[in-house]
Structure formats: structure tokens, C-alpha cells
């Protein structure tokens, strides 16, 4: 995938740097891990420090000292998660800031204007993201509005050096997914994202809707599954034809003491690591595992030392980056299916019910915070 800031090999995973930073890490550390593109969020950057500030300093790449590719989300999901703090119309969205309660009105045209000022390599159309358990009628209305907004975003685009992606909606209804994919692909966007999934629905539903949607999207344009980042879900998405992923999951669980390993997540808080001289993952080549014992990491998390979050984040992003590199190699060698089966045969994912409970708890915390 060619961008103004370099070629990005796909499939690719994008760490989330909503506010212009991947939490706890410097840009050089992120690059050393092998990350080629990060995600930033227009909603957050609009509120702090403000689009004009970033534009004055020279754009988002210069502002955050990142010379590789950037994808900016439109902020649609964040705005629609505000619930009682926003009001939606066909014109746009009126919402109150979760920071200070100030009122803002955002339109598809403004979203494009903001992202052009930020200067990201890939920019996203504004969409309306319904809850996964909304009714067919409500999801259908949100989908229709998403289509109208996508057209307005397309007409508003002025810069030719940014790839504009549309977002396919339709919830968990195959009929609506088909309608959305058919409509948006007829408009000829540079790429297509699959939105409105990984919002608390069962994983089998996520995969089914992903498979339904990807099959309807052009094979010669990037296909982007938003909000997915666990190792097993990345492999399942790739098997269904997804090219781009993003998620805060690897960095978020790292700050909670969960380390990805070949066998599944390891909770560093477990007493088994109290005196463990070996690294948390003996097969890992990251700075954390090359340098520190599991006992030291256990100690840092027990003391709430800030270094703990940095070391865990380095490890988890390195794990995901290495996984994607191995996937790309397997695809080139024609061995992806066997690679996937071998990986999943020993990797133990988080229990489905625990995962759903954690997701709902996190979504609730985000709503309450906002």
C-alpha cells in the first residue's frame, strides 16, 4: 500500500494513538518495534490541542514527530458514544465535549477539512455508528445517513495526496451490509472500512458480518476492519480478506498487566511470576523480554511503577508486529492456512463470556468518563 510517507506492507495492524501518541511510548520506540502506520483521532485532536494549533506547527506528522504513515479516524465512533451529549441530524452532529462540556457542531465537510489540515495519509468519512443491539429500523436509518455523509465527504475533499475511505455500516444485518457495501463501492472511494463491529456482539457474529462484507468489497482496494486487535481475531480477519486493522486492545491490556504470548495472554500479577527468573515470554525478542525477568515485571506492576506500562506495551506491540510480519511471509509463501491453524492450535484466547463482560465494562467506563 503506497502512501506519501512510505510503502506499508499489508496485512497491517495500526496501534492507536488517538491524541497523537501511542500511550507510554516515544515515536522512535514505536518505529523500532516495526510499526509502519499509526492511527490518530480527529475528535480528540479537535478538542485538544485544536486543529488550528496542529496545522500552524506544520501538520500532524511534524507535531507528533512521526515520519511514517498516519490514518486519522473521523471521530464518528467517539461522537456517537457520547449518547446523551449529542444530537444527530442529516446536517451533522451537535455534541458536547466530554472534557469541558463545550458545545460543538460537526459536519461531513468539517471532518474532511480537519483531516486535510492534519495531513494524514489516509482519512475517513464521517459515519453514524449504531449500537450492535439497535433495531433493524434504527440501523437502517444510520446506514442511510452514513451514505449521504460519505457522498458529502467525497465532494468536500480538496487534497489529492490523501486517500479517503468510506465506512460500510449495517450492524449485524446481512441485508443492510449488502446494501451499504453496494452503495459505497459504486462511489469509487480509495478504500473501504468495515465499521459498527466489535462493539460487544459475540465474536462469531463479528466474523460472520466481516465475511459477508469483505466479499462485497473490491479486491484491488484496501479493506479495513475497525477496532479489532486480538491475535486470534487478526488471523481470522486476514483469512477473510482484511488488509488493515486497528485497536487499542494490545496497549490497553498491557497497562492492565496482560502480556501476549504464543500460548495466550499471561497475567503478570499472578503469583507464579513472583520469583520467575526467565522473561515473561522466552520466545520473544523484544527489549522487555531481552532485558527483564518476569519477576521484575511482576514487581513493577505490584508497585504501580510507570515503567511497568511502558515495558508491557513494548512487548505487546512487538508481539503483534511480529505476528503480522510472519503472516505476510506465510501469504507470500502460500502457507497462510497452515500457519493460522498451527498458531490457533496452541493459542488460548480469552474466554468469550469474560471477553464480552470486559468489553461491556470498558464501553460503560468510556461513556461514564465522557
Considering only residues 224 and 353, tell me which one the structure prediction assigns the higher pLDDT. Answer: 224
**240 plus 269 within the same structural domain:** no
Exactly one of 73, 127, 233, 243 is catalytic; name it: 73
**146 plus 284 within the same structural domain:** no
Q: Assess if residue 35 is contained within a domain.
A: yes
**CA 170-174-176 angle, 5° bins:** 40
Where residue 76 falls among pLDDT bands split at 50, 70, 90?
confident
Rounded mean pLDDT of 335-353?
Answer: 94
**322 plus 208 within the same structural domain:** no
**179 plus 104 within the same structural domain:** yes
Range of the domain at 107: 2-247
**206 plus 301 within the same structural domain:** no
Distance of CA 76 to the CA centre of its chain: 13
**221 plus 314 within the same structural domain:** no
| Cα–Cα dist 269/165, whole Å | 41
Are 241 and 8 in contact by the 8 Å Cβ rule? The answer is: no
**198 plus 105 within the same structural domain:** yes
pTM for this model (two decimals): 0.95
Of 92, 94, 212, the C-alpha closest to 156 is 92
pLDDT for 365: 58
**126 plus 23 within the same structural domain:** yes
| Residue 73 bears catalytic tag | yes
**205 plus 303 within the same structural domain:** no
| Residue 341 bears catalytic tag | no
Exactly one of 233, 243, 246, 281 is catalytic; name it: 246
Name the grid cell of 141: 436509518
- CATH code of 116's domain: 3.20.20.105
Q: Assess if residue 43 is contained within a domain.
A: yes
| Cα–Cα dist 85/104, whole Å | 10
Could you give the number of structural domains in the chain?
A: 2
Are 69 and 5 in contact by the 8 Å Cβ rule? The answer is: yes
**120 plus 241 within the same structural domain:** yes
Q: Assess if residue 228 is contained within a domain.
A: yes
Of 61, 78, 80, the C-alpha closest to 70 is 61
What pairs with residue 165 in β-bridges?
124, 191
Rounded mean pLDDT of 290-317?
Answer: 98
Which residues have a Cβ under 8 Å from the Cβ of 107 and sit 6 or more positions away? Answer: 91, 92, 93, 126, 152
Amino acid at each position: 500500500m503506497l502512501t506519501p510517507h512510505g510503502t506499508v506492507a499489508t496485512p497491517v495492524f495500526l496501534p492507536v494513538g488517538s491524541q497523537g501518541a501511542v500511550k507510554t511510548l516515544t515515536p522512535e520506540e514505536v518505529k523500532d518495534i516495526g510499526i509502519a502506520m499509526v492511527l490518530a483521532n480527529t475528535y480528540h485532536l479537535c478538542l485538544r490541542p485544536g486543529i488550528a494549533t496542529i496545522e500552524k506547527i506544520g501538520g500532524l506528522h511534524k507535531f507528533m514527530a512521526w515520519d511514517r504513515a498516519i490514518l486519522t479516524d473521523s471521530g464518528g465512533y467517539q461522537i456517537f458514544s457520547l449518547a446523551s451529549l449529542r444530537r444527530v441530524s442529516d446536517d451533522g452532529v451537535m455534541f458536547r465535549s466530554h472534557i469541558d462540556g463545550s458545545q460543538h457542531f460537526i459536519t461531513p465537510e468539517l471532518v474532511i477539512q480537519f483531516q486535510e489540515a492534519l495531513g494524514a495519509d489516509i482519512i475517513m468519512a464521517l459515519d453514524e455508528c449504531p449500537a450492535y443491539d439497535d433495531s433493524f429500523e434504527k440501523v437502517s436509518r444510520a446506514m442511510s445517513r452514513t451514505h449521504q455523509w460519505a457522498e458529502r465527504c467525497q465532494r468536500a475533499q480538496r487534497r489529492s495526496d490523501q486517500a479517503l475511505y468510506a465506512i460500510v455500516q449495517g450492524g449485524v444485518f446481512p441485508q443492510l451490509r449488502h446494501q451499504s457495501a453496494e452503495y459505497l463501492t459504486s462511489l469509487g472511494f480509495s478504500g473501504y472500512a468495515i465499521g459498527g463491529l466489535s462493539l460487544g456482539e459475540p465474536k462469531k457474529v463479528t466474523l460472520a458480518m466481516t465475511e459477508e462484507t469483505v466479499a462485497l468489497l473490491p479486491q484491488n482496494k484496501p479493506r479495513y476492519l475497525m477496532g479489532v486487535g486480538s491475535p486470534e481475531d487478526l488471523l481470522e480477519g486476514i483469512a477473510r480478506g482484511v488488509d488493515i486493522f486497528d485497536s487499542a486492545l494490545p496497549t490497553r491490556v498491557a497497562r492492565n498487566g496482560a502480556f501476549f504470548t504464543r500460548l495466550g495472554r499471561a497475567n503478570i500479577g499472578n503469583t507464579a511470576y513472583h520469583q520467575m527468573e526467565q522473561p515473561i515470554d522466552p520466545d520473544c525478542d523484544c527489549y522487555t523480554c531481552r532485558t527483564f525477568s518476569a519477576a521484575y515485571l511482576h514487581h513493577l506492576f505490584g508497585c504501580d511503577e510507570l515503567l511497568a506500562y511502558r515495558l508491557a506495551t513494548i512487548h505487546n506491540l512487538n508481539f503483534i508486529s511480529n505476528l503480522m510480519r510472519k503472516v505476510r511471509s506465510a501469504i507470500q509463501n502460500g502457507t497462510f492456512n497452515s500457519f493460522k491453524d498451527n498458531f490457533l492450535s496452541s493459542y488460548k484466547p480469552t474466554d468469550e463470556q469474560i471477553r464480552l463482560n470486559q468489553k461491556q465494562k470498558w464501553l460503560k467506563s468510556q461513556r461514564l468518563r465522557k
